[in-house]
Amino acid sequence: MAGALASFLAVVPSSTSGHIAISYPRAQGGPWTSQHAKGVHAWIGFQGKKYPCGGYAKGPVTQLKAGQKLEVEFWTYGRGSWETFPPKAGAQQGRHGGGACEFSLSYDGGQTWNVIGQYTKTCPDIFYKWPVMIPKNVPSCTDSNKCLFAWSWVAYLTNQFYHHCANVEIQGSTAANAALPPLKMTIVDVKQLGQQQNTNSLGDGKGGRSSGPNATEIDRNLSGYYAAGGEVEKNGGLDLLLRQGGRAIKRHDHEDEAEVRYFIEKRQLGEDAAKKRLTQPDL
């Protein structure tokens, strides 16, 4: 009976408190836009909500710079005003026991996503700001129709994937080797893409306020770890603690790892050499 109730609650977003979206940077479909979508805080797939970003119209444009610290804020209907921080005491939120959050950039309108930050277990939570850094060596992106910042979330207590985006413009590096980060965004539980809705990420299990962002993860997110040429190229991203049908799985399958390797080697060796190594990985 308890399991049936949980399943029911998982598919009925509350209009007052359930689920979460990003409020800073000001994202698409929020109450700060002229086209507020009531399901903006719901998961991809809810009532036909599309990947990427939910399928919403262009939102406000946030100006960003390479090397800038960006403090992401979350919002839900139970938070109160989205214009002030912190939220009112006792504000309700549907964080589903936390899970794994990633923050990514797209320069091609959401076709591809490059990770610039990750938090595990305690994310998301409306009572905290979640710092990430725009890598110092990303190139400029001046077309706000194609330049996007995204938050994605693999929840703990529900097999749901959230993806919410803000239109941005980025003043980037002018160096010849300017590049986007190599780590690709994790995407799970999206039926639109032919995926089964059977994956979650271990969280803190709390329904209310969490302990906030982990200090070690903050340091990693602000250190340049995720930048092209950073430690992510050698050590990879965080273990997102993914579980598929209750079984632990790796963050990336072999094809994803090959794609990351190709991105790195393309920058280091040139496109032709990288393609050769991709098809003959033992060279």
Residue 240: pLDDT band by 50, 70, 90 thresholds? very high
pLDDT score of 253: 39
pLDDT score of 283: 36
Checking if the pLDDT of 192 tops 70, the result is yes
pLDDT score of 217: 98
Q: Does 144 share its domain with 268?
A: no
3-state class (DSSP) for residue 192: helix
Q: Does 18 share its domain with 72?
A: yes
Q: Does 106 share its domain with 151?
A: yes
When pLDDT is averaged across residues 184-207 and rounded to a whole number, the result is 95
Q: Does 24 share its domain with 151?
A: yes
Checking if the pLDDT of 272 tops 70, the result is no
Report the DSSP beta bridge partners of residue 73: 24
Of 270 and 23, which is predicted with more confidence?
A: 23
Checking if the pLDDT of 7 tops 80, the result is no
Percent over 70 (pLDDT), the chain:
82
Cβ 162 vs Cβ 20: under 8 Å? yes
Average pLDDT score over the chain: 86
Query: What's the pLDDT tens digit per position in 61-108?
Result: 999 999 999 999 999 988 878 888 999 888 889 899 999 999 999 999
Q: Does 142 share its domain with 275?
A: no
Cβ 72 vs Cβ 124: under 8 Å? no
Cβ 183 vs Cβ 263: under 8 Å? no
Checking if the pLDDT of 282 tops 60, the result is no
Checking if the pLDDT of 256 tops 60, the result is no
- Counted residue by residue, the chain has a size of 283
When pLDDT is averaged across residues 200-223 and rounded to a whole number, the result is 96
Q: Does 181 share its domain with 276?
A: no
Q: What is the residue range of 280's domain?
A: 253-283
3-state class (DSSP) for residue 119: strand
Q: Does 245 share its domain with 271?
A: no
Checking if the pLDDT of 4 tops 60, the result is no
Separation between Cα atoms, residue 41 and residue 164, nearest integer Å? 8
Residue 36's identity, in one-letter code, is H
CATH number at residue 114: 2.70.50.70
Query: What's the pLDDT tens digit per position in 140-155?
Result: 999 999 999 999 999 9
Q: Does 202 share its domain with 246?
A: yes
pLDDT score of 203: 97
When pLDDT is averaged across residues 106-121 and rounded to a whole number, the result is 98
DSSP conformational letter for 177:
T
**pTM of the predicted model over 0.75:** yes
Q: Does 259 share its domain with 233?
A: no
pLDDT score of 271: 59
Distances (CA, A) of 43 to 51, 96, 154, 191: 10, 12, 10, 12
